[in-house]
Amino acid sequence: MTKEKFAAQLAKEMRAQGFRINAPNAEKLIIALAKSMGEGLARDRKLIVSNFGSFEVVKYGAKMIQSPRGDNKKFFMPPTDVMKWHPSGKIRQRAVSEEVEDDEYKKLVGNPVEEIDAPAVFIQKEEMIETSESAKSKTDPYAVKVTYAGKVKSYLSDDHSPISKFVKSILSLMKTFGADKLEIVPGKIQTQILYSNVEGMKNQKVLPKDSHAVIIQKIEALAGSANELLLFGTDRVKLSRKLTPFGYQLTIVKI
């Protein structure tokens, strides 16, 4: 069902319920509904619609994936947010699943989909202690580290590399958290990702220290010599950095 057909069906159902609405207005309602649902999921990561079902944003951990081209190459897939829908009982009864044909079943059996729930890159902790060996021993040993070894730095210009996608996810969280300032602060063991605005701290995330240098390099490569980036098509940000005892601290501020 296309959006136009959906709008026509929605207008018909609403008229049956006593609401006077035409198909063009129903289409606008669908757009507004989708936008509201998207904002709600971005903020609360879960949305419940009575008699329809629930939507939930689930984080899948980073993992190595096989190239779909069949060339036996493997790629690093960073942590990914996936939206799942759990339909209500009424929807399940109305849209009953059909039995899979024998040939389709053989295809599914021959290509099983395995989901690997690896730990996320971000280490979710409110307080990080970086001054003792005991703190170092508490660091998640399975946390994914974004590192690069070698002289070839094609990942700096590759807009579709896993590192590029991961860096873009860090920047996109500025909009999610309503932050005007993003600071990437290196420490002895971890790197802190701080989101803030004039009201104060909005959110804080932590990365393994080994990920720091490559992330800084990628953001600066995106910004270029002007040290500026255009985010979300409208927000222009300025980059600045300063040297600390543990590496360069990068600050990104809206201008």
Domain boundaries of the chain, sorted by first residue: 1-43, 45-118, 133-254
Helix (H) and strand (E) counts for the chain? 7, 11
DSSP string of 168-214?
HHHHHHHHHHT-SEEEEEE-SSEEEEEEEETTEEEEEEEEEGGGHHH
Same fold, 45-118 and 133-254: no
Nearest to 42 by CA among 57, 30, 54: 57
Q: Locate tokens 């129903």: which residue?
A: 26
pLDDT tens, residue by residue, 223-254 = 888 888 887 667 888 999 888 888 889 999 98
| Cβ–Cβ under 8 Å, residues 224 and 164 | no
Task: Return d(Cα 20, Cα 207) in angstroms, integer.
Answer: 53
Task: Return d(Cα 133, Cα 131) in angstroms, integer.
Answer: 7
Q: Which helix (H) or strand (E) holds 65?
A: strand 63-66
CATH T-level topology, domain 45-118: HU Protein; Chain A (4.10.520)
- Confidence (pLDDT) at 201: 86
> Which of the pair, 64 or 101, is modelled with greater confidence?
64
Q: Considering the entire predicted model, what is its pTM?
A: 0.43
- Confidence (pLDDT) at 105: 61
Over 80: is that where the pLDDT of 153 sits?
Answer: no
What rounded mean pLDDT belongs to the chain? 75
Task: Return d(Cα 136, Cα 40) in angstroms, integer.
Answer: 37
pLDDT tens, residue by residue, 70-125 = 677 787 778 888 888 888 887 777 666 566 666 766 665 554 444 433 333 444 33
| Cβ–Cβ under 8 Å, residues 212 and 186 | yes
**Averaged pLDDT for residues 60-76:** 77
Alpha-carbon radius of gyration of the chain: 23
Amino acid code (one letter) for 204:
Q
CATH T-level topology, domain 133-254: Beta-Lactamase (3.30.450)
